[in-house]
Chain A
Amino acid sequence: MAIKVGDEFPQVQLKYVPYDAAAPDACGAPQLLDTKNNLEGKKVVLVGVPGAFTPTCSAKHLPPFVAKADELKAKGVDLIVCVSGNDFFVMDAWGKQEKVTDKILMAGDANGDLGRATGLSIDLSVAGLGAVRLTRFAAIVDSGKVIHLGVEPDPTEVTVTGADSILSAL
């Protein structure tokens, strides 16, 4: 059963390569992100995408979050995390291509832990993307509690999971 508003956000470990402003093209040392311990007491926007470097995700979903990151932070968001079923090296490379710098933490859920824990995983093997991918979603998690959740009814589109939709929910 999928996660819903009012639930405690599950505790899983994601992985990411931190942005290094002194060496923006470097592939830094990966870090773990524990969704409970590292997000404690914070207001977090979590954006799930089916695939890095895929058309919809690259053209329609991620860029508006990059463009509006400051606006989101002005409305009280401490951290924006983009996560997919890709591994963290791929997410890092995609983030570099999309020039996210330190605006968005690009995390990988290659083991499928977040997908399974939230019930938001989708089988995309028929599209060649593997059996445990995240569907397109955007959540606002405040001090560990889900206070807003948009799950895209058609994952090839961006409506309730887009930056504007999240801004108006803040």
Chain B
Amino acid sequence: MSIKVGDIFPDAVLTYVPYDAKNPEACGLPQQLKTHAAFKGKKVVLFAVPGAFTPTCSEEHMPGYVQSVGEMKRKGADIVACVASNDQFVMHAWGKSYNVKDDILMLSDANGDLGSALGLVNDGTARRMGPIRLARFAIIIDDLKVVYVGVEPAPGVTVSGAPAVIAKL
């Protein structure tokens, strides 16, 4: 059973490589992000993609957020984060390719803990993408409470896209 509006967002440990403004080309040291500690008291837009560097994610999903992150923050989002089953080095490299700096937190759920806790994980082995892949979704969390869930029902970007999220902020 997957997460729904009204639920408390699960506490999971994700990893990321922080952006270093002084050293933007460096590959910094990975850090852990514990969702409860990091998201408490904040309004968070969290969108998930099946795979960094994959066509739909790269061409249709991520660019919308890169373009609208400023608008989301003006509408009250404290944190805008992207999460995928790729590891933190891959997420960091993908974020760099869009020049996101620290506007969008690029998070890794490589062990699948968050995906399992949300009930939003798929098996990608048939496409040779590995057994743990997050579904495509967007969630708005307000002080740890889920206030919007858009899980993409089919290939493509609709309810999990930036415009859908902005409309709900």
Binding site for B on A (CB under 8 A): 13-15, 27, 30, 32, 51-55, 58, 85-90, 92-94, 97, 108, 110-112, 125, 127-131
By beta carbon, the residue of chain A nearest B112 is A130
Interface residue range, chain B? 20 to 34
Interface pair B92/A53, CB less than 8 Å apart: yes
Interface pair A111/B131, CB less than 8 Å apart: yes
Separation of A86 and B54 alpha carbons in the complex (Å)? 12
Given A110-B129, A111-B125 in contact, is the A52-B111 Cβ separation under 8 Å? no
Residue in A51, A88, A112 whose beta carbon sits within 8 Å of that of B89 in the complex: A51
By beta carbon, the residue of chain B nearest A58 is B27
Shortest distance from the beta carbon of B132 to any chain A beta carbon, whole Å: 8
By beta carbon, the residue of chain A nearest B15 is A128
Given A51-B89, A90-B90, A94-B93 in contact, is the A129-B129 Cβ separation under 8 Å? no
Against A, the Cβ 8 Å flags (1 = close, 0 = not) of B125-144 are 10011111000000000000
Interface pair B88/A52, CB less than 8 Å apart: no
Interface pair B90/A130, CB less than 8 Å apart: no
Interface pair A87/B89, CB less than 8 Å apart: no
Interface pair B90/A53, CB less than 8 Å apart: yes
B41 beta carbon closer than 8 Å to chain A: no
Q: Given the complex, which residues of A lie within 8 Å of B55, measured CB to CB?
A: 27, 89
Subset of 29 A-B contacts with CB under 8 Å: A14-B128, A15-B128, A32-B128, A53-B92, A53-B93, A54-B27, A58-B27, A86-B87, A87-B51, A87-B54, A87-B86, A87-B128, A89-B52, A89-B54, A89-B55, A90-B51, A90-B53, A93-B52, A93-B94, A108-B128, A110-B124, A110-B130, A111-B125, A111-B128, A112-B130, A128-B30, A128-B87, A128-B110, A129-B110
Shortest distance from the beta carbon of A34 to any chain B beta carbon, whole Å: 12
20 further interface pairs, Cβ-Cβ under 8 Å (given A52-B90, A55-B89, A129-B87): A13-B128, A27-B58, A30-B128, A53-B27, A53-B89, A54-B87, A54-B89, A89-B51, A89-B52, A90-B53, A90-B86, A93-B94, A110-B124, A110-B130, A111-B129, A111-B131, A125-B110, A128-B30, A128-B87, A130-B130
